[in-house]
Amino acid sequence: MKISIIGTGYIGSVTGACFAEMGHQIIFVGRDTKKLDLIKSGKSPIFEPGLDQLLLKNQERITTTTDIADAVRNTEITFIGVGTPPREDGSSDLSQIETVSHSIGKALRSDSKYHTIVAKSTVLPGTIEDLIIPILEKESGKKAFIDFGVASNPEFLKEGTAIEDFFKTDRVVIGAQDQKSRDLLEKLYKPLNVPIFKTTLRTSEMIKFASNAFLATKISFANEIGNLCKELGIDSYSVFEGVGLDTRINPKFFRTGIGFGGSCFPKDVCALIAHAKSKGITTKVLNSVMEINDDQPKRMIALLKKHINPKNRTIGVLGLAFKPDTDDIRKARAIPIINMLLKAGARVKVYDPVAMDNFRQQFPDLHYTSSASEVLTADAVLIVTEWKEFENLDYHGKLVIDGRRVEKARNEAAIYEGVCW
Ligand code: NAD
């Protein structure tokens, strides 16, 4: 199949590389020629384990362009993978979706074949029908589902294990109204041999939000119980190991700590809350999910202050990325934690194996060290991301506040506090 991928960020680049690996011809469409040049030369524009190798291996099947029209005309299916960042009030900023829809619509005008446009970006229920289709129809002068197809195919992969998640996903969700687009997507994903769930456009859009909201709820629920466990002298890690053994519950995304960050959970839960509010619906559970999540970093600083006044002291931060194996710092827990440390008058020393360049753009004045062990020379150390290499440090004699349960630190540190254990 000939496939266009619009957007070369975390989702676009992984999706395109994985489709290429499946034997398809891919045209990546981006705005940044430097990123496109990287892709063209078989290098990933983002840090994602295995992505470089996949792009390099499939170079022959990959081309790049900045011209959406060119890509649409030369392919039969276009995946929209642009960003849907949060606005100040938590609602979804759909301007990137709007912009590319205008360009795709214009391209469709002179495209004589049946082309299918797929929203892979996370968009609120109704976005395809109420925003994307009207733009496509207006710009193309054509009718959706008659002259061109439109579908929803939300993505569920996790940064850090994105490629494995793509090929071994629990399910593929296809939202479609026209048979041609449904069949095309089914044919595309069939070789993965995973469950394919076919539904309507709106239901598919909602499945993505409901999934993220539920996983975020699991984490905040664990943290609420975890905070109580700490107070009662109970190890919340053991509690959730035990609870997770119940197959109705499942152990995944059920660990206590400083909460969730990243480009998806906070953004998508807030967008759902804002969307519900605009429809007059109050989201009591989701409001609490965000409230608990916002409080967990504050607990970390409160625990630190129990042992040391951070004013004019050097506090080390291990980990800046929102999770291990990514350089993504969007809504990372390190951001509120470091802001609180700076506000308290601390000197902040940080280390992350891959996310320091991204973090430096937001926090240029921190002390960025060249190794994790250098961070351990600080007066106290906060473990914010559970990178594997932090399991091999020597924590003897250190004051450690742990947000992610690093067992070696727990066993060795002179003074050790876990956020929920
Ligand atoms: P991102 O910011 O990393 O990538 C978006 C890309 O779109 C950027 O490279 C940007 O330059 C490009 N873009 C924007 N406007 C463009 C235009 N007019 N023409 C060409 N390119 C354009 O974002 P992301 O993390 O890849 O997320 C993309 C979407 O996928 C979002 O809706 C997100 O919610 C969803 N999603 C992300 C993840 C994840 O783990 N990152 C997982 C599932 C779903």
User: Are residues 241 and 173 part of one domain?
Assistant: no
Strands across the sheet containing 314-318: 367-368, 347-351, 314-318, 380-383, 399-402, 415-418
pLDDT value, residue 223: 98
- Domain span including residue 281: 236-418
10-residue mean pLDDT series, the chain (421 residues): 97 98 98 96 96 97 98 97 96 97 97 96 98 98 98 97 98 97 98 98 98 98 98 97 97 97 97 97 98 98 98 98 97 98 98 98 97 98 98 98 98 98 97
Nearest CA, atom 27, ligand 1: 83
Active-site positions?
A: 264
In this structure, are 121 and 9 located in the same domain?
Answer: yes
Query: Which atom of ligand 1 is nearest to 159's Cα?
Result: 40
In this structure, are 288 and 171 located in the same domain?
no
38 within domain boundaries:
yes
CA torsion, points 362, 367, 373, 376, in degrees to nearest 10?
A: -100
Q: What is the pLDDT of residue 269?
A: 98
Ligand 1 centroid–CA 412 distance in Å is 41
Whether residue 184 sits in one domain with residue 47: yes
Mutation probe of ligand 1 site: the residue of 8, 11, 135, 204 with most atoms within 8 A of C-beta: 11
Residue 300's pLDDT is what?
A: 98
Indicate whether 167 belongs to any domain.
yes
DSSP character at residue 111: -
Ligand 1 centroid to 96 CA: how many Å?
Answer: 9
* Residue 216 covered by a domain: no
* Radius of gyration (C-alpha) of the chain in whole angstroms: 23
Q: Are residues 124 and 245 in the same domain?
A: no
The CATH number given to whatever domain includes residue 288 is: 3.40.50.720
Rounded distance between C-alpha atoms, residue 317 and residue 332, angstroms: 13
Is the domain of 351 the same as that of 292? Answer: yes
* Residue appearing with tokens 């827990």: 333
Q: Flag whether 229 is in a domain.
A: no
pLDDT at 380: 98
Give the span between the Cα atoms of 256 and 95, in whole angstroms: 35
Question: 194 and 254 share a domain?
Answer: no
Q: Tell me if 412 is assigned to some domain.
A: yes
Mutate which of 4, 6, 10, 84 for ligand 1? The one with the most ligand atoms within 8 Å of its CB, which is: 10
Residue 99 CA: which ligand 1 atom is closest?
A: 18
Count how many domains the chain has: 2
Mark which of 141, 176, 199 sits at the end of a domain: 199
Burial 317-343 (b: 16+ CB within 10 A, else e): bbbbbbbbbbbbbbbbbbbbbbebbbe
Measuring from each residue's beta carbon to the nearest atom of ligand 1, which residues come in under 6 Å? Answer: 6-12, 29-32, 81-84, 96, 99-100, 121-122, 155, 157, 159, 263-264
Closest residue by CA, ligand 1 atom 23: 83
300 C-alpha to center of ligand 1: Å? 31
**Looking at the domain assignment, is residue 241 inside a domain?**
yes
Q: What is the whole-number distance in angstroms between the Cα of residue 361 and the centre of ligand 1?
A: 19
Do 248 and 99 reside in the same domain of the chain? no
Ligand 1 center to 339 CA (angstroms): 26
Give me the helix-helix angle, 95-109 and 133-140, nearest 10°. 30
User: Of the residues 172, 199, 226, which one is the last residue of a structural domain?
Assistant: 199
Q: Which residue lies with its CA nearest to atom 34 of ligand 1?
A: 122
Q: Identify the pLDDT of residue 235.
A: 96
Tokens of 37: 């040049």
In this structure, the strands spanning 196-199 and 314-318 are unpaired
Domain-ending residue, one of 199, 225, 250: 199
β-pair type (314-318, 347-351): parallel
Verify that 164 and 297 share a domain, yes or no: no
Q: What's residue 194's pLDDT?
A: 98
> In terms of domains, do 257 and 360 share one?
yes
Same domain, 253 and 188: no
Are 349 and 316 in contact by the 8 Å Cβ rule? The answer is: yes
pTM of the predicted structure, to 2 decimals: 0.96
Single-letter amino acid code for the residue at 226: G
Does residue 300 sit within a domain? yes
Give the C-alpha separation, 79 to 16, whole Å. Answer: 9
* Model pLDDT, residue 210: 98
| CA max distance for the chain | 71
Helix/strand/coil for 384:
coil
Query: From the alpha carbon of 11, which atom of ligand 1 is closest?
Result: 26
In a domain, 319, yes or no: yes
Give the type of residue at 249: I
User: Can you give the pLDDT at residue 240?
Assistant: 97
Please check whether residues 152 and 246 belong to one and the same domain: no
